[in-house]
Amino acid sequence: MADGALKGQTAVVTGGAGAIGGAIAAALAKDGAAVVIMGRKAESLEKMKAKILAQTPGARIECSPGDGMKPEDFIKAADMAVAIANRLDIVVATVGGGGFKPLLMQDVDGFRAELDYNIISTFIAIRYGATRMKNGGSIVAISSTAAGMPFPWLAAYCTAKGGVEHLVRTAADELSSLKIRVNAVRPGLTKSDSAAGMFENPDVLAHFLQLVPAGRGGEPEDIAQAVPYLAGPESSWTTG
């Protein structure tokens, strides 16, 4: 997509201080969108804002501290985006993650927490973002290759991301009449805050790289580049 293709549009990125969320916000800003980044730590958001502005001087980046698991916090961020140009065009839900634990060591509370962290955070972004998209728009969730294939000790995470993808399909169907498209990006093993330990362990990394044809782990920018496409006019016939 050419720089400036999203000029005049506004976006909200949850988990905007994280490696993937920040890279997505930077990619959207580079293409001209005004971006509100949302995350739990105000200091981390400000650091990410400075990083993005260093890459794209003059970009419009606003920070909205809050928890992506709380509707009221997402609504605050979405309304901040609307206030920029009286519109909301793009919502990117990056909040999610999980940990390694054998299935027979899981308990109900821990399993449920991972489902909530991934599925409910995405639901909040879709539910309260869509009602502010008066002219249609694009919602992008971050899924995982774990949604489509099992991994040992990742039962909760695989189940959660599978749920995210079915939520995306269902939302795409229901919201199509509002001219809102809903899609997901499905990263493989990518360098991020939650995956840092895996990249530091050669044995663990080697096991996962056996499944990656490119022979390397992903960088946040590898994931980010898909989002402006899904947010922009080139993907106008792509949803679900």
Active site residues: 157
Q: How far is it, in rounded angstroms, from Cα 70 to Cα 120?
A: 9
User: What is the layout of strands, in order, in the sheet containing 34-39?
Assistant: 61-65, 34-39, 10-14, 90-93, 137-142, 180-185
User: What is the phi/psi pair of residue 182, to 5°?
Assistant: -130, 125
Are the C-beta atoms of 236 and 32 separated by less than 8 Å? Answer: no
Two tokens, residue 20: 């993937």
Q: How far is it, in rounded angstroms, from Cα 215 to Cα 198?
A: 15
